[in-house]
A and B are shown apart, each in its own frame.
Chain A
Amino acid sequence: MGRGTTADVTAPRPAPTLAGWLTLGLAALSIGALMVGPYGLTPGEVVAALVGRGDPQAAVVVWNIRLPRVGAALLVGAALAAAGASYQALFRNPLVSPDILGVSAGAGLGAVAGIFLSLPVAAIQLSAFAGGMAAVAVVAFVASLVRNTDRTLTLVLIGVVIGALAGAATSLLKVMADPYDQLPAITFWLLGSLAAVTSGDILPALPAVAAGLVPLALLRWRINVLSLGDEEASALGVEAARTRFLVIVAATLITASVTALAGVVGWVGLVIPHIARMLVGPGFGRLLPASALIGAGYLLVVDTLARTMAQIEVPLGILTAVIGAPFFVWLLARGRRGWS
């Protein structure tokens, strides 16, 4: 809902102020996340460490241990939510998540293959990224071979098929993997975690995510038009097939990059765009930044919980599912209104 039903013609668009509030909230959440952990810090200590003063030990905790993880959570959350918003507009379906075209299944297979072959961490990440991109490329290629007037439906169905195939291959590798060493690593990776992330892991993902976000931001009006469907978008002057291809490449690049970094983190790309749509409406120009900001904050909270709520690290995928599933049921119970 949101501004959609307000009939005041002169009402100012709430987006800029909202973006300000969201950014402010995100900064507060980040400082909060930097405070908590086995070595507790006060807000003052965190700020002092960030500006290069205060206790050297606090500075080490903030800069070397917590900041990479906070940064990774922000990046992954923003990326997944932005990609989810894009896929939902593209597939004209508010129930779509970024793994609709098999990117998560492909990245999972890539990572699992890397772990199975005992590759170094960087190679596993590269393999996950390549797996995600390759899965979507295969989906797009196979869909182009199928003669069907409904291109979107074809893509989704082929996505399901390729995703299932990749899932089967992943299961096979799990059966063959060393149950004491490799299998726990595989399971943990498939549920998503930022426990092992370092600043060296984030740096390659950053430009890839940015490279995906730029075309999405530039095409924001055309993505609105595309959400009317191919036929109408074409009649309105959009080269639908080409634009859709661009959006898929951009959103897949974003998803594959952060999946390589964090493993398979579900639900964020599905749920967050809904919340953003409730706040700013369906216009993609506002939906994209709102989704990214809310997604960043959401995953930061979830990841902070994951590392502090228990003695062991709780996988992110478990927490996002536990939070996301009831929320989603609530959305459905609200009926169509919940989609807005």
Chain B
Amino acid sequence: MLEARDLSIGYGTTVVGTRLSLVARPGDVVCLLGPNGCGKTTLFRTILGLLPALAGSVMLGGKPIAQQRRAEIARRIAYVPQAHAPPFPFEALDVVLMGRTARLGLFGQPGARDRAAARHAMARLGIADLAHRDYSRLSGGQRQLVLIARALVQEAALIVMDEPTASLDFGNRAQVLAQIAGLTRDTGAAGCGVILSTHDPDQAFALDARVLLMKDGRPHAEGPADTVLTARNLSAVYGIPVTVETTRGGRKVCLPSLDLQSAPTMTSDALTMA
């Protein structure tokens, strides 16, 4: 499990966030919400041990993360970055296999069992047919699923996903979200937890997640989606009037005001993805 207490995060002398705490156990879905630049990615880099915490502690598996080797961390917590194009045309299966690295020796090569695990993970996400396709030429949604498969074969108890649906079109967004939802349901018993950031509060409702709502590098509210994602909280954090409504099907959706007088403080998500 991950236990981050009273963190100050940032780069060198630049403090990006303070007083942040985050606990994630296997089976949890934790959703980070907040405007661009509020420190979500920096927080992720810190809890992944890629960036030292300026203050506070990050405990992973009961041990300070700063005292663990990279392979040890990678066996406990997996990372799904935003879909990107690599410089070389690896096969999708090779990209998934890279998730096995932490379970190989320094000079080790993935073997038949690793390949089987990779194929299994791809099949589970419904992308088995992509195995021998050139990863650099897949669509954004397909790449995102390949990266999630890579995190699955890492066999870590926790998976961190940095805006897994950003830059995806409407259909791919729904598809990736459905897979994440399926993942947390499937692995609830097996003990896998997901920490993800998103710009879409509806997703937190859809995933029935625990929410950490951030503003300016500080926690604004924390708790179940139903109690945290209120019109009042969302309006305060995003600086625009927001209403939360329940659809006839029983799903909650958040509707921002499109009235320009309310002067949004942040640029559109489509323009910047911090």
Q: Which residues of A contact B (CB under 8 A)?
A: 1, 3-9, 89, 92-94, 147, 149, 218-222, 224-225, 227-228, 231-232, 234-240, 277, 281-283, 285, 336, 339-340
| Given A7-B133, A236-B154, A231:B81 Cβ within 8 A | yes
| Residues of chain A with a CB closer than 8 A to B79's CB | 232, 235-236
CB pair B86–A228 under 8 Å, yes or no, is yes
Residue with the greatest number of chain A CB neighbours at <10 A, chosen from B69, B87, B104, B106: B87
CB pair A282–B109 under 8 Å, yes or no, is no
Q: How many angstroms between the C-alpha atoms of A282 and B107 in the bound complex? A: 18
| Given A7-B132, A221-B104, A282-B89, A147:B50 Cβ within 8 A | no
| Residues of chain B with a CB closer than 8 A to A239's CB | 69-71
| Residues of chain B with a CB closer than 8 A to A285's CB | 109
Q: How many angstroms between the C-alpha atoms of A7 and B128 in the bound complex? A: 11
Q: Nearest Cβ in chain A — how far from B135, in angstroms?
A: 9
Q: Nearest Cβ in chain A — how far from B80, in angstroms?
A: 9
CB pair B104–A277 under 8 Å, yes or no, is no
Q: Nearest Cβ in chain A — how far from B42, in angstroms?
A: 11
CB pair B71–A237 under 8 Å, yes or no, is yes
CB pair A237–B74 under 8 Å, yes or no, is yes
Q: Nearest Cβ in chain B — how far from A148, in angstroms?
A: 10
Q: Nearest Cβ in chain A — how far from B124, in angstroms?
A: 17
Pick the 4 closest A-B CB pairs, nearest first.
A237-B102, A237-B74, A282-B88, A235-B79
| Residues of chain B with a CB closer than 8 A to A3's CB | 91, 132
CB pair B90–A224 under 8 Å, yes or no, is yes
B78 at the A/B interface (Cβ < 8 Å)? yes
CB pair A340–B88 under 8 Å, yes or no, is yes
Q: How many angstroms between the C-alpha atoms of A281 and B110 in the bound complex? A: 17
Q: How many angstroms between the C-alpha atoms of A147 and B154 in the bound complex? A: 31
Count of chain B residues near A, Cβ 8 A: 41
Task: Considering the complex, give the chain B residue whose CB is closest to the CB of A147.
Answer: B12
Q: Nearest Cβ in chain A — how far from B257, in angstroms?
A: 37
| Residues of chain A with a CB closer than 8 A to B102's CB | 236-237
Q: Nearest Cβ in chain B — how far from A89, in angstroms?
A: 7
| Residues of chain A with a CB closer than 8 A to B98's CB | 224-225, 228, 236
CB pair B90–A282 under 8 Å, yes or no, is yes
Q: Nearest Cβ in chain B — how far from A242, in angstroms?
A: 9
B48 at the A/B interface (Cβ < 8 Å)? yes
| Residues of chain A with a CB closer than 8 A to B132's CB | 3-9
Q: Nearest Cβ in chain A — how far from B9, in angstroms?
A: 14
Task: Considering the complex, give the chain B residue whose CB is closest to the CB of A337.
Answer: B89
| Given A147-B12, A236-B99, A283-B94, A94:B74 Cβ within 8 A | no
**Binary A-proximity of B125-136 (CB < 8 A = 1, otherwise 0):** 000010111101
| Residues of chain A with a CB closer than 8 A to B87's CB | 92-94, 227, 339
B73 at the A/B interface (Cβ < 8 Å)? yes
| Residues of chain B with a CB closer than 8 A to A238's CB | 70-71, 101
CB pair A235–B50 under 8 Å, yes or no, is yes
| Residues of chain B with a CB closer than 8 A to A1's CB | 89, 134
Q: Nearest Cβ in chain A — how far from B89, in angstroms?
A: 4
CB pair A236–B69 under 8 Å, yes or no, is no
| Given A221-B101, A228-B98, A235-B79, A340:B109 Cβ within 8 A | no
B5 at the A/B interface (Cβ < 8 Å)? no
Q: Nearest Cβ in chain B — how far from A235, in angstroms?
A: 4
| Residues of chain A with a CB closer than 8 A to B12's CB | 147
Q: How many angstroms between the C-alpha atoms of A281 and B90 in the bound complex? A: 7
Q: How many angstroms between the C-alpha atoms of A340 and B135 in the bound complex? A: 12
Task: Report which of B89, B101, B136 forms a contact with A236, defined as CB distance below 8 A.
Answer: B101
CB pair A4–B91 under 8 Å, yes or no, is yes
Task: Considering the complex, give the chain B residue whose CB is closest to the CB of A2.
Answer: B89
Task: Considering the complex, give the chain B residue whose CB is closest to the CB of A215.
Answer: B107
| Given A221-B101, A236-B74, A237-B74, A4:B134 Cβ within 8 A | yes
Task: Report which of B103, B104, B134, B154 forms a contact with A5, defined as CB distance below 8 A.
Answer: B134
Q: How many angstroms between the C-alpha atoms of A93 and B88 in the bound complex? A: 8
| Residues of chain A with a CB closer than 8 A to B99's CB | 236
| Given A89-B88, A224-B98, A5:B107 Cβ within 8 A | no
Q: Nearest Cβ in chain B — how far from A236, in angstroms?
A: 5
Q: How many angstroms between the C-alpha atoms of A120 and B70 in the bound complex? A: 49
Which chain B residues (56-101) contact chain A, with CB distance < 8 Å?
A: 69-71, 73-75, 78-79, 81, 86-91, 94, 98-99, 101
B250 at the A/B interface (Cβ < 8 Å)? no
Task: Considering the complex, give the chain B residue whose CB is closest to the CB of A227.
Answer: B88
CB pair B88–A220 under 8 Å, yes or no, is no
CB pair A4–B71 under 8 Å, yes or no, is no
Pairs A–B under 8 Å by Cβ, sample size 21: A1-B89, A89-B88, A92-B87, A94-B88, A218-B107, A220-B109, A221-B101, A225-B98, A235-B50, A235-B74, A235-B78, A237-B70, A237-B73, A237-B75, A237-B102, A238-B70, A238-B71, A239-B70, A281-B89, A282-B89, A340-B88
Task: Report which of A6, A232, A283 forms a contact with B90, defined as CB distance below 8 A.
Answer: A283
Task: Considering the complex, give the chain A residue whose CB is closest to the CB of B72.
Answer: A237
CB pair B91–A281 under 8 Å, yes or no, is yes
| Residues of chain B with a CB closer than 8 A to A281's CB | 89-91
| Residues of chain A with a CB closer than 8 A to B106's CB | 218-219, 222
Q: How many angstroms between the C-alpha atoms of A310 and B79 in the bound complex? A: 59
Q: How many angstroms between the C-alpha atoms of A232 and B70 in the bound complex? A: 11
Residue with the greatest number of chain B CB neighbours at <10 A, chosen from A222, A239, A285: A222
Q: How many angstroms between the C-alpha atoms of A222 and B131 in the bound complex? A: 20
